[in-house]
């Protein structure tokens, strides 16, 4: 079998397996809904693309380009997290080791995974194309459907970016330090940087760093707008893409113009296909760094384990005088069960003792393997919250203090499923009433410890409203993590959603979403109340999800 056929068949098999997963079908359903959202009627409360109060009429060119651009933005984030698990799945199921024993080269394997990633994203884009066509007919602003004009933006704008996303996902999975939660966090920042790099060049002469393709489409849209509405300044006029909501719930009344679509010249097309070339280069790099499922090349155990960490309470010598008498060896020279310290389920710790011990154990588990650098940064952020100017603290150090433990929180509620210890733990007494609160409390303690500097500062200032907001934040974060972890069994949903919430709320000061209460606006907007209720709902949800698992 030729190399290409082998790669293609592997990718196809992988795609077929993925396409049968519930998460794939769920994402397809969401894609359909997104297509509906991307094309609002003219007097909706939001607009998805407007230029100084104007937009193109919903013909095939405008619909295709508008939906293709939004799809590129949306799928370059959500799609990455959706497909970044192909190699991990082979690793966890053991299929990877079987493949590693075949003639398949690293490059072929990574290429097949990239192709499979791309096929998943391609399927989403196809659904989006069909949905966009249907929406054009539903909106009825222009009934003539021109398939080629509608498809072209998906082909030249969306798909090259999807190829890049597919390759980057494979690259992240090939590098041990980007494989887990840290990779998820880093990609989010790469994605925001990519959007920023694309967006600031809209209207400029040319751009090499425009993976989404804004620069290809938007200047031509702006030119048509300026032709129809001479008051619109095509060089400096306003352009807004995304979900634009007007103040006080007012509806939009956008005036429309006709735009016939992007003129696809060879240089434009080749410029777009350059991203596919970059995707191939990424695959080559990933192939070089891939460990081929060799456990010996995996990350070395954390320092504490390498050094032989002391058990809680210090190591015990089984032959120490206080224990040795109980270990009287039988005639065979081996220890017998009868000589063990008796227990028989009667000598249990009291409720408080049991819970304290379990919380301490969960806390130790959460922090196991965390490096000294992690503690140094956490302590530094907390100290800075105490001493730096309040404005800088609210804008930077406090948000940093509560984003830093994201990978620790994201493991809450997922560890048992991820490592397969669920059957051991769920068969222990009171898995719901004692184990789950212990996990949650460990998360709250981490939030309180990393935010301690800010709490002390607020206490000293006597700012009771902000202290209340701080408390809500410290409770909300682990509650949110525990809910998403318990419901999904995965850490990824929290890592993504918490990052977005943190980025939009505390960092970019969206008052309603500021769960840390970093500004007076967010306190005035009632954010602490909202997130207090959300924390309670998350806790109830976490208990319900765990209960469901226990009753399965």
Partner 1 sequence: MRLEIQNVGKRYPGDHWGLSAFSLALEPGVLGLLGPNGAGKSTLMRILATVTRPTEGRVLYNGTDIERFPDSVRRVLGYLPQDFGVYPNLTAPQFLHHLAAAKGLNRRIARERIEQLLVLTNLTDARKRALGGFSGGMRQRVGIAQALLNDPEILIVDEPTAGLDPEERLRFRNLLTDLAGDRIVVLSTHIVSDVEATATRIAVINQGKLLTSAVPEQFLRSGAGRSWEMVVPTSELADVRARHMVTGAARLSDGVHLRVVADAPPGHDAVSVPPTLEDVYLHTIRAHRERRAA
Phi, psi of 48 (to 5 degrees): -100, -20
- Asked whether position 340 contacts partner 1 by CB under 8 A, the answer is yes
Residue for token pair 């410890």 = 449
Residue closest to 486 by CA, chosen among 409, 378, 427, 397: 409
Total number of residues that touch partner 1 (CB under 8 A): 58
- Asked whether position 325 contacts partner 1 by CB under 8 A, the answer is no
- Asked whether position 426 contacts partner 1 by CB under 8 A, the answer is yes
- Asked whether position 372 contacts partner 1 by CB under 8 A, the answer is no
d(CA 125, CA 35): 10
Nearer to partner 1 by C-beta: 95 or 360? 360
Which positions from 9 through 68 interact with partner 1, judged by CB under 8 A?
none
d(CA 205, CA 219): 9
Q: Is 255 helix (H, G, I), strand (E, B) or coil?
A: strand
Residue closest to 432 by CA, chosen among 303, 539, 311, 300: 539
Nearer to partner 1 by C-beta: 299 or 529? 299
Please pick, from the candidates 115, 358, 481, 513, the single residue that binds partner 1 as defined by CB under 8 A: 358
Residues in CB range of 433: below 8 A, 6 or more apart: none
- Asked whether position 341 contacts partner 1 by CB under 8 A, the answer is yes
Residue closest to 61 by CA, chosen among 226, 221, 287: 221
How large is the C-alpha radius of gyration of the chain? 28
Contact 330, 336 (CB under 8 A): yes
- Asked whether position 415 contacts partner 1 by CB under 8 A, the answer is yes
- Asked whether position 94 contacts partner 1 by CB under 8 A, the answer is no
Please pick, from the candidates 186, 270, 316, 548, the single residue that binds partner 1 as defined by CB under 8 A: 316
Residue for token pair 């090939």 = 174
Stretch touching partner 1 by CB under 8 A, among 277-285, 364-372, 454-462, 465-473: 364-372
Sequence-ordered strand ranges (E) for 6-131 = 46-50, 54-56
Nearer to partner 1 by C-beta: 33 or 375? 375
d(CA 95, CA 87): 10
- Asked whether position 360 contacts partner 1 by CB under 8 A, the answer is yes
d(CA 459, CA 330): 63
Residue for token pair 């800088």 = 392
Nearer to partner 1 by C-beta: 269 or 327? 327
Please pick, from the candidates 425, 456, 464, 548, the single residue that binds partner 1 as defined by CB under 8 A: 425
- Asked whether position 374 contacts partner 1 by CB under 8 A, the answer is no
- Asked whether position 520 contacts partner 1 by CB under 8 A, the answer is no
- Asked whether position 544 contacts partner 1 by CB under 8 A, the answer is no
Nearer to partner 1 by C-beta: 248 or 552? 552
Please pick, from the candidates 249, 342, 389, 462, the single residue that binds partner 1 as defined by CB under 8 A: 342
- Asked whether position 551 contacts partner 1 by CB under 8 A, the answer is yes
Please pick, from the candidates 308, 321, 325, 462, the single residue that binds partner 1 as defined by CB under 8 A: 308
- Asked whether position 281 contacts partner 1 by CB under 8 A, the answer is no
The angle at the Cα of 494, spanning 491 to 497, to the nearest 5 degrees, equals 145
Please pick, from the candidates 2, 420, 460, 462, the single residue that binds partner 1 as defined by CB under 8 A: 420
d(CA 214, CA 196): 11
Chain residues binding partner 1 by CB under 8 A are 301-302, 305-306, 308-309, 311-313, 315-318, 323, 326-327, 334-345, 347-349, 353-354, 357-358, 360-361, 364-365, 368-369, 415, 419-421, 423-431, 434-435, 551-552
């Amino acid at each position: 079998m030729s190399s290409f056929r082998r790669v293609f068949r592997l990718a196809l098999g992988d795609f077929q397996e993925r396409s049968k997963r519930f998460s794939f079908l769920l994402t397809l359903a969401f894609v359909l809904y997104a297509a509906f959202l991307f094309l609002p009627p003219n007097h909706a409360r939001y607009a998805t693309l407007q230029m100084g109060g104007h937009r193109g009429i919903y013909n095939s060119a405008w619909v295709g380009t508008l939906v293709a651009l939004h799809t590129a933005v949306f799928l370059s984030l959500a799609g990455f997290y959706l497909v970044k698990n192909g190699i991990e799945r082979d690793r966890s199921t053991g299929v990877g080791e079987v493949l590693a024993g075949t003639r398949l080269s690293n490059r072929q394997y990574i290429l097949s995974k990239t192709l499979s990633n791309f096929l998943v994203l391609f399927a989403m884009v196809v659904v989006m194309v069909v949905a966009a066509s249907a929406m054009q007919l539903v909106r009825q602003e222009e009934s003539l459907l021109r398939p080629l004009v509608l498809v072209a933006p998906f082909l030249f704008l969306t798909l090259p970016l999807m190829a890049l996303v597919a390759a980057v996902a494979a690259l992240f999975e090939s590098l041990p330090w980007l494989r887990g939660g840290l990779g998820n966090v880093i990609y989010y920042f790469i994605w925001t940087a990519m959007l920023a790099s694309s967006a600031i060049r809209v209207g400029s002469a040319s751009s090499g760093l425009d993976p989404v393709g804004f620069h290809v489409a938007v200047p031509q849209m702006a030119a048509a707008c300026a032709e129809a509405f001479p008051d619109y300044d095509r060089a400096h006029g306003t352009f807004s893409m995304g979900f634009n909501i007007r103040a006080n719930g007012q509806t939009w009344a956008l005036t429309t113009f006709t735009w016939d679509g992007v003129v696809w010249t060879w240089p434009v097309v080749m410029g777009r296909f350059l991203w596919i070339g970059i995707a191939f280069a990424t695959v080559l790099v990933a192939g070089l760094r891939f460990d081929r499922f060799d456990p010996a090349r995996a990350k070395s155990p954390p320092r504490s384990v390498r050094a032989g960490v002391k058990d809680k309470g210090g190591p015990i010598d089984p032959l120490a005088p206080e224990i040795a008498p109980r270990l009287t060896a039988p005639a065979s020279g081996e220890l017998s069960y009868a000589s063990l310290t008796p227990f028989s389920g009667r000598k249990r710790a009291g409720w408080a003792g049991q819970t304290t011990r379990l919380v301490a154990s969960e806390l130790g588990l959460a922090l196991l393997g965390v490096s000294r650098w992690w503690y140094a940064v956490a302590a530094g952020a907390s100290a800075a919250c105490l001493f730096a100017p309040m404005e800088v603290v609210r804008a930077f150090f406090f948000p940093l203090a509560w984003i830093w433990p994201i990978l620790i929180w994201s493991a809450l509620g997922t560890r048992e499923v991820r490592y397969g210890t669920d059957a051991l733990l769920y068969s222990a007494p009171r898995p719901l009433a004692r184990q789950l609160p212990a996990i949650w409390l460990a998360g709250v303690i981490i939030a309180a410890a990393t935010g301690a500097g800010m709490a002390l500062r607020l206490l000293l200032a006597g700012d009771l409203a902000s202290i209340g907001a701080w408390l809500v934040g410290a409770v909300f974060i682990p509650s949110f993590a525990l809910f998403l972890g318990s419901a999904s069994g995965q850490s990824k949903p929290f890592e993504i959603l918490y990052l977005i919430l943190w980025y939009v709320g505390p960092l970019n000061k969206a008052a309603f979403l500021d769960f840390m209460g970093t500004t007076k606006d967010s306190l005035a907007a009632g954010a602490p109340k909202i997130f207090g209720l959300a924390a309670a709902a998350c806790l109830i949800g976490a208990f319900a999800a765990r209960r469901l698992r226990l009753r399965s």
